[in-house]
Structure 1
Amino acid sequence: MTQTFSKILIANRGEIAARVIRTAHRMGIATVAVYSDADAQALHVALADEAVHIGPSPASESYLMVERIIDAARATGAQAIHPGYGFLSENPDFVDAVEAAGLTFIGPSSGAIRAMGLKDAAKDLMARAGVPIVPGYQGESQDPDFLAAEAQRIGYPVLIKARAGGGGKGMRKVDAPQEFAEALESARREGQASFGDPHVLIEKYVTAPRHIEVQVFGDNHGQVVHLFERDCSLQRRHQKVIEEAPAPGMTDAVRRVMTEAAVKAAEAIDYSGAGTIEFIADGSGPLREDGFWFMEMNTRLQVEHPVTEAVTGVDLVEWQIRVAAGLRLPLAQDQLAITGHAFEARLYAEDPVNGFLPATGTLEHLSFSDAARNDTGVRSGDAISPFYDPMIAKIISHAPDRESARRALLRALRETHVVGTATNAEFLAALADHPGFAGGTFDTGLIGRDLESLIAETPPSDVHVAIAALAALGVDPGTPRLGWRLWGDAVHDLTFVIDGAPFSCRLALQSGGHVCLYREGAEALALTGLSINEATVHARTGSTNEKIEATVRTARRDTGLLISVLTGGIARTLLLPDARAGSAALVDASDSVVAPMTGVIVALDVVVGDQVQEGSRLGVMEAMKMETALVSPRIGTVSEVLCAAGDAVEGGAILVNLEAEAS
């Protein structure tokens, strides 16, 4: 391979930093990581050849500090900077500063980023280039009444979009005029907080939309190619959840027209490096050559790039580094082809049952299936910080056909085991098993329409409870004369806590290494043929002789022993309270609203004495780049307000109290 750079710095963290480091090392390039206080022990720091501390935990004081990153590159002798995605990756001023320092930016030019950085200007540019665009308003006027009138002219439903936005931030779907003012205020606030720009544009909301994007790549010698399309239609609140390549239902004719439009868009700004042209397509019927429109261009590597790598066999990070070093694209358009099908699911530390609130905590255990590629930036023992995006991993499957790839993804999700924080793994598995998704007939509204069934969580099965009880008691079935008693079985009564609610069970240890679980209102469950190899449990049920396999992990908490059991593709976590904790393991929050995570109060809607209804919005907090509404748990009167707009609050802090209900 022709020499590119000898050392590069990665101006990012987590999964993408680890991803870039691995490719750089394969290319024989030394790497420099940067890190904040919160990331001192992070995986990307451990993987890099060198690491430089750049500031406190908040991104605004570390990963967004341009001069500190450039100083780190100079001090370590790095020749180029890879921005990853997010943070400074689409900041043209950062590109200019990097180049002014005599370094190379591994990405597009600042001019290309500026051309596509504001959605309104980008749409005007694409229209002039002959690329179809969604009807809407992208002018300069930001008067609320004027924008409301434009929304009325365009016709509801409409999308309000922060012009400097991305990743669903600053985007609101509005179905009726009476909802417009509040949605506009929220979108502007989020746009200002996320991108420093409250300016919005209005677009017609396409009914039954599909989100299809084309990966493009250009070099500094005038060559631009596409690496086919990805379907990113499985979204929640405009944020991608599962992506795939190629798009289901894509015909050769539609692919040709769409990829030609994408290449035309990239050529219009003399694009160099990895980029993505995002289209919205009409999903009410089969894909049509005249049924898609330009939405925006992402002038960086996308989170979902591994599905393109899987079906093309191309390492996109390697291409980025080669192009930035002045080399030509390794392959011409006629040398690129699609092989098989790939999916990517984004595993997050979040709680689907609790409104997908981001979760923090220590990853007491983290293990993945060998059925898929697993790109992660964390390990067992690492903490999920409140300061950054709560992604744990990207799980990527690839197989010769779509159904085989889907089944591999489903297996991988069901075999992923995370202990110490809530995750969306079970939600992702339910989505991968959804009939609409399995059949390839879906649009961006699928999750919203079927959310209730997708997040439905069943209580722990008797098998979960029995294995948790074995772990709690430290039972080893290989122990001689296990369970033997002169006058009967060895019986243990246990009380577990799940989601704040206690329940009791009895476990009887019987001769021959058999056990029997008794729960009130349920038939007894007998387990036979028990064997435990480290954290893996094998057994059969006494009634049906069904084969059972489970993995179990434990972690000590102040309130007791946390026990997580994964069996049958479902993980359930039980707490065995410490006797000294008493009722501390049980929480009654009926009179209080607490901060669901560490963050900042951005709006407060109530004062002492206000009457509120169950579900009423009391305020809004921002954490992990997301706004979360704070709602009342019941009807009542506000008795205390313990925070103010702008306050930074810790997760679990009481924010608002209601008057106690009369007994």
Structure 2
Amino acid sequence: MTGLRRVLVANRGEIAVRIIRACHAADIEAVAVYSDADEHAQWVQMADDAVHIGRSAAQKSYLDPDALLKAARSTDVDAVHPGYGFLSENAAFARAIDEADLVFIGPPPAVLEQMGDKAAARRAAEAAGVPVVPGSGPITDPADAPRAALELGFPLLLKAAAGGGGRGIRTVRDVEELLDVLPGAQAEARSAFRDATIYLERAVPNARHVEVQLLADELGKVVHLFERDCSVQRRRQKLLEEAPAPALRETTRQTITSAAVRLAEHVGYRNAGTVEFLVDSDENFYFIEMNARVQVEHPITEAITGVDVVAEQLRIAGGAPLALDQDSIECRGVAIELRINAEDPARAFTPTPGDVTALHLPGGPGVRVDTGISQGDRISPFYDSLIAKLICWGTDRQQAYARARQALAEFHVEGVASTVALHRRLTSNAELADGPVHTMWLEKVLADD
């Protein structure tokens, strides 16, 4: 049980379904929101109440804080769960929720501000004794970029200071290339995050992307739920994740999880969050960013620990202290998550919106499917192209991947192109099975086809 009575789910798709289920399991009423495009969606039907919040475009609905606040006030909720994406890491939205005497199910606004500013987050990591990749401070004037780049040395990554999720990142190998891509990177940052500030970071070759899942209560207690490897990416967007990270030395695992906990304690973190790192071939690790929300890939952490991350979010937001002790959290087996997107891998992963004319979801031991889509639904062009997340657990990597291959053989989507066939190839790839791979591995595999 938690101290919450009724929660507004300020999101859509599979994460809205996930949150509503967690609310109902905790005897909490759930209120859904929906745009014009989502009027008949699965999560709208599941909720105890539902509110129309605007037109199909995200800026006119799920990204409209005033519409969401109005929905919260009109439905007598006592808390708002933002899920991931949209306004989940928006400090102004979290502050508005607080000022409305409602509970924001996430970290405090000040923490969102600090960790949402990538330069400030780097400074916090350094102050907490967490290694960071050498980088510049915030750059607003393009004329300052070449000097900062030459001081750091190439190759470099150009990143949006207010960014996340791989948006706005460019790799540059010399000053000429930097000056060429800088205007576009700033424009993308301004469009995506309403802030054109960028910064430079030294590239780490052949790096793995490893992240640590955290939970923190209102009393300041922080625990980790081990780590995930998210190195299988295309265009810096995750496609396949695995927990725990394969072939990671135990000493590295202990050091990297301790560093994540230390950072959370340093910034006064609350609720669920993830600290992301780059790990080089010698297992030196470097802080990238902190995702101050529940992650898309949280189910694989749930699979290996038995901890319901969303249920813990609700408990913490309701004022309950963490009942988990670090020594009691065990890592059992291996889990992988495959993101089934309505995208065409043969056409550079171009989104393929349209009607899902047939959908057959797999099952069996160790198989879980999280989705907000049913047969006959439309994949909207207005939002993310995710159809479903396929999560497969096994006692070891061999069993987890074998279950994934069987599940993918059963997984059928018609009406839109999808990544199912690509995942069938990936889960049969000997190099990936031997593990680990780096963040550019998939692009190399695709380029070799």
Matched, 1:440 2:435: yes
What residue is the counterpart of 1:321 in the other structure? 314
SS at match of 2:86: coil
What residue is the counterpart of 1:355 in the other structure? 348
Of the candidates 311, 316, 320, which is equivalent to residue 304 of structure 2?
A: 311
- TM-score computed with the length of structure 2 as normaliser: 0.97
What residue is the counterpart of 2:231 in the other structure? 233
Task: Give the counterpart letter for 2:107 in structure 1.
Answer: P
SS at match of 2:201: strand
Seen in structure 2, the aligned counterparts of structure 1 residues 164 and 367 have a Cα distance that, compared at 3 Å, is same
Deviations along 1:391-439, one digit per CA (max 9) or x if unpaired, are: 1011100010011101111222232111101111111221222222100
Q: Which has the larger radius of gyration?
A: 1
Task: Give the counterpart letter for 2:336 in structure 1.
Answer: F
Q: Any residues of structure 2 matched to 1:156-555 within 5 Å, and which?
A: 156-282=154-280, 284-285=281-282, 287=283, 291-371=284-364, 372-453=367-448
Kept in 2: contact 1:319–1:330 (CA 8 A): no
Deviations along 1:366-405, one digit per CA (max 9) or x if unpaired, are: 1111142110011111111111011101110001001110
SS at match of 2:296: coil
Kept in 1: contact 2:54–2:60 (CA 8 A): yes
Kept in 2: contact 1:414–1:426 (CA 8 A): no
Greater mean alpha carbon deviation, residues 52-61 or residues 152-161: 152-161
SS at match of 2:339: strand
Task: Give the counterpart letter for 1:341 in structure 2.
Answer: V
Q: Tell me by how many angstroms 1:153 deviates.
A: 2.7
Greater mean alpha carbon deviation, residues 28-37 or residues 434-443: 434-443
Task: Give the counterpart letter for 1:36 in structure 2.
Answer: S
Kept in 1: contact 2:124–2:267 (CA 8 A): no
Greater mean alpha carbon deviation, residues 77-86 or residues 146-155: 146-155
Give the distance between the partners of 2:416 and 2:382, measured in 1 at CA: 16
Larger RCO (alpha carbons 8 Å, 6+ apart): 2
Give the distance between the partners of 1:441 and 1:6, measured in 2 at CA: 44
Task: Give the counterpart letter for 1:342 in structure 2.
Answer: A
Q: Tell me by how many angstroms 1:181 deviates.
A: 2.2
Give the distance between the partners of 2:88 and 2:349, measured in 1 at CA: 26
Calculate the aligned-residue CA RMSD, in Å. Answer: 1.2
SS at match of 1:34: strand
More strand by share: 1
What residue is the counterpart of 1:36 in the other structure? 35
Deviations along 1:119-178, one digit per CA (max 9) or x if unpaired, are: 111101211121110011123x43323212322332222111111111111111123433
Deviations along 1:296-349, one digit per CA (max 9) or x if unpaired, are: 101000111001000000100000000001100121111101011000011110
Kept in 2: contact 1:376–1:392 (CA 8 A): yes
Greater mean alpha carbon deviation, residues 63-72 or residues 75-84: 63-72
Give the distance between the partners of 1:280 and 1:202, measured in 2 at CA: 15
Matched, 1:72 2:71: yes
SS at match of 1:393: strand
Greater mean alpha carbon deviation, residues 143-152 or residues 337-346: 143-152
- TM-score computed with the length of structure 1 as normaliser: 0.66
Give the distance between the partners of 1:183 and 1:86, measured in 2 at CA: 26
Deviations along 1:534-566, one digit per CA (max 9) or x if unpaired, are: xxxxxxxxxxxxxxxxxxxxxxxxxxxxxxxxx
Give the distance between the partners of 1:332 and 1:264, measured in 2 at CA: 16
SS at match of 2:204: coil
Deviations along 1:496-555, one digit per CA (max 9) or x if unpaired, are: xxxxxxxxxxxxxxxxxxxxxxxxxxxxxxxxxxxxxxxxxxxxxxxxxxxxxxxxxxxx
More helix by share: 2
Kept in 2: contact 1:92–1:111 (CA 8 A): yes
Q: Tell me by how many angstroms 1:274 deviates.
A: 0.3
Give the distance between the partners of 2:141 and 2:189, measured in 1 at CA: 16
